[in-house]
Structure 1
Amino acid sequence: MKEVEKPPKEIRQLLPVMLIGLVTLVMYSIFVTFYCMVLLQINVQKQYVDSDLLNEGYTKLLTFHVFLFLFIWSFYKTYTVDPGSIPDTHEWTVEPDVSRIKERGPNGELRYCTHEKKYKPDRAHYCRATKKNILKMDHYCPWVANGVGHHNYKFFLLSLFYANLCCLYVEVNCHSSFPDLYANPNVLFNEVFYIFLEIVLAAVILLIIFPFFLFHLYLTAHNYTTLEFCVIGKRDKKSMYDLGVEENFNQVLGDNLLLWLLPVGGPKGDGLFYQTFAHHAHSFTLFNGTTPSPPDNERGATKHMNFVKLSLDSYPVKYYNRTHKVTNTLRLKGIGLLTWEEEDIRRFFQELDLTFMVYLILQQNVVYVEFYKKKDCSYVFNLLNHNPPKGQLERKTDIQAEYVNVRYDIKEDSPTVYSRDVSVLVRGLPGKEAKGEAPNESELNAANGGGDVSIQADAVGEDFSRQVIRAYEEEQWLKYTKNDEINVCHYFCRSTPNKIYKSYCIPDAHLFFSSECLERIGVLLEGRQPNQISILKCHVNKAVEYVIESRHIFQDEIAFLVMKNDLPMSFLDIRNETKTNLMVAKNTLIKIKGRRRYELIFGIPKKKTLQLEGETVRRQDSYLIIFRFIDEPSVKKMLTQKHRNERVKDEPQEKSCVSVDIAQYNSDTIEKTYVLDVYNRIAQHFCYTRYKSWNNVENIINEEQEGNLIVDVGCGNGKNVQVSSKYFFIGLDFSWYLLKFAQKKWNSDLFLANCVSIPLRSNVADLCISIAVIHHIGTHEKRRQAVAEMVRCTKVGGRILIYVWAYEQQENVVGNRKFDSQDIFVPWYLQPQHTLEGSEDVKEGEAAEREVLHPAKKDLQKLQRYYHVFRKEELHDLCLSISGVRIEDFFFDTNNWAILLKKVG
C-alpha cells in the first residue's frame, strides 16, 4: 500500500471533493453550534447549569468528533492511497504466469492492455480517468478523485460506513430534540431553522449513501467488484472468488478483526493473484457473455477421432488436474464405461463432428477428451455447460465439462546447485539424499521404476560428435533449422497437446547421419532405430522449457546424448514435484524408459554461469540429440489432420534481375514507386515469408546488456523484436502496412518515419540495427545520410549494425543471383491470397511500366523492387566517411555484406 505519486489533480477533479468538504463543514458547524453547545449550556450561569445535561453534551460532542475523525481519516486514505497498478516487470510485460491467471478475453487468451502494453492480472481493468490499469478495479469515484481498487477499497468502504454513522447520529439527535426546540418560545427562529436544515441534510445524505453502503456490503460478502456484478453478477449465482462471507471480508479488511473498523493496514494479498472457490462449476470469460458458435472454418473437412482405454492410474490421466484456464483437454463427468456402452460413447462423440482423442477410463464414469485446437475445446465446454441447442446431443443434461491439464509444480526447496553426479538421477531420490538420509533398496527400486533410467558415460567418441556437428552446420539443412533445432524423420512441436508433422524435417535419417553414426546409434539403443530425432544447438542464450510429452504419440523410451561440451539439464519428477539439476558431461547418453519416460520431464536453463557444488563454472555452447520412438500407427490420423494445415509453399520466384539506369530516375520517385508502393502491396506476403530474424543478427542483439535500448531502422514486420524480451525496442519504417503487421504481432514501440530523417533525439540507442534497408535508397548521398542518422541516434560507446545485399554472390546459397550492374530491379511475384485490400494506390500506367521484359507468371502479379547492391569496398568506404565511428567487424553473411560500427565520439 502506497500513496499516489502523480502530478496534482486538475481543478475539475477536485470540485466534487471540495463539495464534500463544504457539506461536511456546514453540517459540523450546525451540529456543534446549535446542538452540542446548547447541551453544554455555554451562555448559562454556573449556578444554573444542569450537570446531567452537561455530561450528555460532552458525551455527544466527543462521540460525534470520534465518528467525524474516523470518517475524515478514511476519506483521506481513499483519496491518497494508490488503488494498485500492474508492476513494470518482465512477468507482466512479457511472460505472465498463465497457471495462476483465471480470467481470459473473448478469444480465450490472456487479457492484454494495449495502453500500458502489459498483461492484465485477474480483476484488473484499465481506467481512462487515471490512465492506468487498477488492480481489482471496483470503479472510478469522482467524489474522492481516485480509482477504487485493491489497496484502497477498505478505506472507501469505511468512508461510507462512517459517513452513514455520522449522518445517522446527527439525524437521531437533532430529530429527537426538534419538537421541544420548536415548542420553546424562548428559542430564536434561526436556531430552529438551522436544526431543521441539519435534519434535512442528514436525511437526504442517508437516503443517497445508505443503499450504496448496503450494496457494497453485499459485494464484499460475495466477493464481487462493481464491474463484475454489472457484467456477470446476474448470470452467475456465485462468484468464482467467493470463499465464504468471513474470508471475503478478511480479503478486504485484513486478517486482524480488531483493525477492521480502523483505516489502517490493508487487504490480504498483492492484488495480482486471487484464490478461487475450489468447487466453482466453471471459470468465466469477462465481457464475453455469449456462447461461441461452432467452429465453421473447416466445414466439409474430414474429422478424426481416436479412442484409447486407460486405467485411472495411467499417464496422463493420473496427472490431470482441473484448471480455470482454457486448455486443449476436457474432463467430462457423467459419461464413461461404468454406465455407458462403448458404442454409445463413440456415437455421442461422433455427433460433435470435431477432431479429438478420447481417453476412456476403465470402470469409471468419466472420460478425458484431448482436442487439437483450443477453439474446438472451448466450443464443447460451452456447449455442455451453458446452452446446448435442443436435440443436438443425447443425454447431455447429465454431462458436465471442465478444463484440465497435466499440472505440476516445483517445490520451493528444490535445489538450485548443479551436480556432476548423474547417478542421482538413476537413484531418483535427490531430496532424501540431500537431507543425509540413505534410501533403502525398496525405495530405490520404486523411485527408479525398476531400472528405468540408465546412464552411459563416453557413449560416443569425438569422431561421432564432429560428424554430427558438421552435418548440423551444412547449408543444405538451413531450411530445416528452426529455433536452433533440426528434426529428422518427423517434426516434433513441443506444445500442448504435442504436434507431429511429416514435413518441416529431414525426411530420412540416412540423409543427415552417416552409416557409421546410425550403426552406433543402433548399438546404443539396443538395436532399435529411433524414428524421431531432434538435434538442438544449446547456446548460452537458449532455454528449453519443461513440456509434457504425449503417451499417445510416443513409445515408452527416450534417450539424450550430449556433445561438444558439458550441458546443464534439469529433470523434473512430476510425481513428487522435485527437480534434479545435473551438469551432464559431453558424450554421455541418458536413457529413460517405462513409466519414468513420462514422469521425468527435462529442461535446459538459460544461464551463462552455473553454480556447481563448491565452484562456479561458465557455460559453453553444446549440442543435444534427443532420440524418440513414435508410435506410427497411432499417429497416422494426426499426421493426416496436420498435413492439411501445413504452410502452403509459395512457388519459387524468378531470380533474373533487370539492370536500371539510375540516372533516368528521380531518387524520390524510384523510392516511392519501386520501394514504398511495392512493400505496401506485398506486406502480407512479405510477412508470410520473412518471419524470423537472421542468426548473426540475433547473436549481436543478444550481446547487449539487459535493459538496453535497441533501435531497428527499417523494422518492417518487426521480426527482430522477438529476439529477446529483456531489451527495449523502438522500430521505425516508412511502410504503414508493414508497421500494422508488426504492431499486431509484437506490440512494440513503432512509428512511421524515413531512415534518412530519424525523428529521435541524439545519443539514445545502445544498439542501432538496419537490416536490408539502405540498399533500397536511390543515391549515394542519401545512403550516407541514412548511416549518419543512425550514428547520431546512437550513444557514444554504442554500436551500429548494417546489412546490405552484396554484389559479390556465392553460388549454392539460398537466394543467390547474378547481377549485371549495381542498380537493379528484382521481381516479386505477389500471390492473390496475399493481396491486401486498400493498399493498391499505384496508377495503371505505373503498374504497366513495371512489367519489364519478362511476362508475369500465371495467376501471379509481378512487381519490381529497386535495389542498389553493394560491393565490399563501397560499404566499407561509406561507413568510414562518417566521423566519430570505427569498424568493429566486417563480414559476409549469406550473400549480404554486414558491418558493425562503434561510435567513439
Structure 2
Amino acid sequence: MHVEQKVNKAKKAEKKQRRCLAIIKADCNVAPSDAPTLNLAILNVGLSNGLTEEALLTSAAATGGQVSQVLMLPSKSYCFISCATLTDAQRVFEGMHNVATIGQLGAVAYLSYVLQLPREIEENGWQKPLPNGLLLLCNFITEAEEALLLQAIAIDDAGAACTEDTLKHRHVKHFGYEFLYGSNNVDAAQPLEQPIPAACDFLWQRLDSTKISGTFLPDQLTVNEYEPGQGIPPHVDTHSAFVDPILSLSLQADVVMDFRRGIELVHVLLPRRSLLIMSGESRYDWTHGIKPKHIDVLPTPAGSLTTQARNKRTSLTFRRLRRGACDCQYPMLCDTRQTTTPHAVTDKLATHASHLEQQNVHEVYDKIADHFSDTRHTPWPQVAEFLHSFEAYSVLLDVGCGNGKYLGCNPQLLSIGCDRSQGLLGVSNGRGQSVFRCDCLQLPVRSASIDGCISIAVIHHLASSDRRLAALLEMARVLRPGGRGLVYVWAKDQRKNDKKSSYLRQNKAVNKQHTTEQAQRQKLAQQLENMEMDQQQQLQMQVPLPVHTNRTEFQQQDVYVPWKTKDKQRTTFLRYYHVFEEQELERLVSQVEGVVLRRSYYDQGNHCVIFEKSSN
C-alpha cells in the first residue's frame, strides 16, 4: 500500500508538471528540453503565488549552482532562471526539482529544462549602462564625515520640519524648505527657520567642474530614513520645482535603486557613503525608485547573482528651487508641459481630427471590442433613471451604443442603437438588439422622429470643439419637440467634494499610498514599463499628446488613454480622449439652437447634461 501511494503521488506530480508546461508553452512559446540546458523553468511557483527573487536565489544557492539571471513574470505562477554553466544548471535541477521547498510558500518546486527563455522579457537591468547624465561617486565621504552629517541632520527643533511621511513608510525631515507631499512641491514663500546644516558645506567644495557644470549650492534638503523593507515609488523630482541637478548621498547602508524609462530598466547599487548625481536625461526623463524589500539582489564579479540583506539607511537629497517654469526637452514627464495645452496642439488636433479619431478611436474599439464589452455590463443608475422617465413605447436612440447595455434597460421603450465600431455592434447583434452602423456626426435618422436620445461616453472621443458641437447638433436634430437628450463625458477632475470617482478608486495602489496628483503624473513611466505598444500604433500618434496613466488624475484635457488587452500578446492600444472641464459641456449645449438645458450634474467622474428640444 505504501508503494502504491508513492506511485499515485508520482503520477499526480507528473500530471501537474505536464499541465504547467502546457500553460508555459501557451503563454510564452517556451518548449521543454529532455537534455540539460542553461535555462530552467520553475513550473509551479512565481510572483502570483508569493515567490520572491531573493527566496528563489537562496534555494538555488543551497544546491551549489550559480544563477546568472532570474526572470519573474507579472501575475504568473511560474518563473525562469538562467545558469552560468551546464554544471550549474544540473546542480540546481537535481537539488531543487521535487525536493526543495522555496521560501515560506510550503510548495515543493517542480523544475524543467527549457530550450530558451521567453522572448518578450525584460532584459537584465545589471547589464545596462547608466542613464545619460547619471554619475555615481563612490566613497565620496569618509566614515568620520558620515558620523558628523548624521549628527547634524538629527537636529530636532522647530526649525527643521520633522514629520512622518504621508506614505507612512519612512521617517522624513526637511531643511531650507519643506517638501509638500500634498502637491509634491515646495512653497517658495515659506522657507523654514533651519537652513541646510553648515556641516554639509564641505560637500559642495568637494564637487569640481568635472562633476557638475557651474557652481551648485542647494537650498533644500530632504532626509529620508529607511528601515529594511521600506522603499519609495518610482518618480521624477518635479520639473517645475527644482533645477538640475539633484544630489543624493547614501549613509549607513547600501541599497539598489531602479531607473526606468519606458521599458528600459537599469539597476544601480548605491554604496554607503556614495554620492549620486542626477542631471540632464537621468534627472528629467527617467524615473527612480527603491523597491520595498528586505533583501537586495546583486551581481557578483563572476557574472552570477547573489543576495544582500538591507540595513537601516539614511539618504540626503539636495535640491535647488527653480524660480520660473521648466523649459526642459523632456515633455512626457514635465509637469509644466502637461498642465498646459499649447494652441499649436489644439490647432493640430483640429487639422488631424478625422484621421486621429479613425486610428485612435474607431480602429482601436474594433480591435478591443470583445474585451471592452466584458467590462461594460451594468447600467449607470442615473442613466437608467433617465430611461425609465419616458412613457411606454417611446422611441429611444442610443448614439454610440457600444455593446448595447442600455438598449434593454427599459423594455417598454422602442430602443435602437448606433455605433461606429463594427466589433461592438457584433456584440449587440448577438444579443438580438436593433442596431446599425453610422458616425455620430451624421445620423441617418429622420429629423424630429425620436422621443429620447442618449450619448454615454462618446463625444469625448471627438478631437475638436467643432466636432463635439456637431454631435450635439445631430442629437438635437433627430429629437421631436419636447424630446429629451442625455449626454455623459469624462471629467478632467475625477474628484468632487474631495471624493474620488469610481475611476480613481479602482487604482488600489494609488489609494493605498495616497499618491498625489503630481506624483501620479510622474508615474507615467511606471505605466509605460509594461507597455508593449504596437509599432504601427506608435506611427499613428500624429499629434504629440501625453499618454495618461490609468486610474490617476488627468493633467491635460487632450490625452491618449491606454487599453491593454488580456490575450497572450498583452498589446496596448491608445485611445484619444478630450476630458471636459467643469461647465464646458454646458457651454457647448448653449450653442445648440432650439434646446433648453434642463439639468447638469456630476456623476462618478463624468460631466452630464439633460436637455430638451423646444416646441417652437
- How high is the TM-score relative to the length of structure 1? 0.24
- How high is the TM-score relative to the length of structure 2? 0.35
The structure, 1 or 2, with the larger RCO (C-alpha pairs under 8 Å, 6+ apart) is: 2
Larger radius of gyration, structure 1 or 2?
1
The structure carrying a bigger helix percent of its residues is 1
